Amino acid sequence: MKWEPKPAPVVNMAQCGKEVEIDPKNFILIEHPDEPYLVIVMGFESDHAGARFTHPNIVRSREKKFEYKHYGQSGNKWWTSHPGTEHVLVVPRTAINLRLVETTGYVEIEIGGHVIRLNNSWGSWGKGTTADFLYDEVGTCVNHPVADLKAVANAAVRGTHFEPYLFYDEKEP
């Protein structure tokens, strides 16, 4: 089943503080609200056109094996993997709108009129509320349409303090 975004109010990310209220029981918590950029890592399986996409605003690309967990009707689970590519883009927060929708782990943003679904963590946040956690470096769900990738690449910039970019598994502990 294909995901389709629903209409939602938005707020520009550059105007957000640490806590963004979606409704009284749901929040987005922003790790460093004063950081002027958001690093977005977009992944694509190797048979998707996004895997071969190039643009001068891509900070870095690399091959990656994407792992997926599946659940059967009886509750059993199994894993599959697919080779692919991930692209790193650094986007000014002034170019990003947060969509104020309850997401439970998939914060939605808008860049250049395109809705991008992030794959991030969420959890309970006291007193019956939940929160999505939005860090300075985020990943998207795999295989967004190429039009979404183009919109992010067109909004992205180069020459920030995130270059040269190191992936999490390349950083020292």
Q: Tell me the pLDDT tens digit for each residue of 5-44.
A: 888 899 999 999 999 998 888 888 899 999 999 999 999 9
Structure tokens at 127: 């007193």
pLDDT in tens, 37-52: 999 999 999 999 999 9
Strand intervals (E) in 5-127 = 10-12, 19-23, 26-30, 37-45, 60-71, 77-92, 97-99, 108-111, 114-119, 121-124
Rounded distance, CA 112 to CA 151, Å?
A: 6
Does the residue 172 lie in any domain? no
Does the residue 166 lie in any domain? no
Does the residue 170 lie in any domain? no
Range of the domain at 131: 10-68+77-160
Does the residue 173 lie in any domain? no
Does the residue 3 lie in any domain? no
- pTM higher than the cut 0.75: yes
Total domain count, the chain: 1
Does the residue 2 lie in any domain? no
The label of the residue with tokens 């990656």 reads: 64
Does the residue 167 lie in any domain? no
